[in-house]
Each structure stands twice: as structure tokens, then as C-alpha cells.
A = this chain, B = another copy of it.
């Protein structure tokens, strides 16, 4: 039985999304997918298409590249949400030059107010060398803080490494 809020963190191609999808599918509840991606180029379009294909038709999808709070407000009691992912959400906020602290507060409030259970996926991006450019450094700092925040409010937090879960907080049932 999944708790109210589950945080799934992992590196690129770590299997974090598949792991999170699996948690949702094992729950047996009606599934909602909150899609955060905006396709700006062919590489991203291909990635999104591959994910949709892998997920299959049994999902109610809400496209929410920027307004995640509105999407979370549409979720009904008993549903379980896969929010994939916080990294894309953050990237979209930064592109829109939004105030990250304000938007994070709004996201956290919406996650707490959501009537269904939520599994939120995010990327670990802070374990390489310091990036050359300032924007990349700003992004990884913002991502690190957001990940701390999301892990902090979660009931269950899992770090996925090579497809395998390391539990950071709570109990993986």
C-alpha cells in the first residue's frame, strides 16, 4: 500500500520512471499521469513518444508543462498519480523565469491538497563536477533544493540506482 506521497529520485536512465510506474501499477488504483514535458526538438519528442508507448493506454493523462497545481487539483479521491517529473517542471519554471521559491511553495501546497495519492519522480543532478556555465550551476542548485524539499514532505523516498531501490525515508512495502 503506497502512502500519500512517494518521492522517487534517480540519475539519467536509472530506471526511476519505470520503478515509479511499477509502484503505481501495483497499487491497482485508477491511474493519472501528469505529463510535464515540452518537446522543443526531435530528441525530446522521441523520448516522450517512447515513454507514452511504454506506459500503454491505461492512464488518464493530464498535460501540465507549467501549471502542475491545476493538474493536481483535478485528481479525484482514490486515484493515484504519477508526476513525471519534477526536473522537467523545474526546467519549465526556469525557462519561464518564474520565481522558483514561490512556485515550489505552490507545488508543495498542491501536492498536500491533492485528493489522490501521488508518486513524484525527480532527477539527481548534483553528483558530477561543477558545471562550466552559471545557468547549469543555478539549475543544479535549484534541483538539489527542490529534491530536499520533496523528500522532506514525502512519506516514502526512494533513490533508484541501476534500476534498484535504495530507501531514503519510510518503508518500501
Contact = CB atoms under 8 A, between A and B. Distances in A.
B15 A148 contact: yes
Contact of A144 (B12, B143, B148, B164): B12
Nearest to A170: B164
A137 B125 CA distance: 13
A11 B163 contact: no
Interface stretch (A74-82, A94-102, A104-112, A128-136): A128-136
Contacts of A124: 11, 127, 161-162
A126 interface: yes
A163 B148 contact: yes
Given A134-B43, A157-B164, A168-B166, A13 B144 contact: yes
A147 interface: yes
Nearest to A145: B13
Looking at A9, A124, A144, A164, the one whose CB has the most chain B CB atoms below 10 A away is A164
A83 interface: no
Contact of A159 (B139, B147, B150, B162): B162
A14 interface: yes
Given A12-B126, A128-B125, A151 B168 contact: no
A126 B166 CA distance: 16
Given A12-B144, A126-B127, A164-B168, 6 more contacts: A9-B162, A43-B137, A124-B162, A147-B163, A151-B164, A159-B161
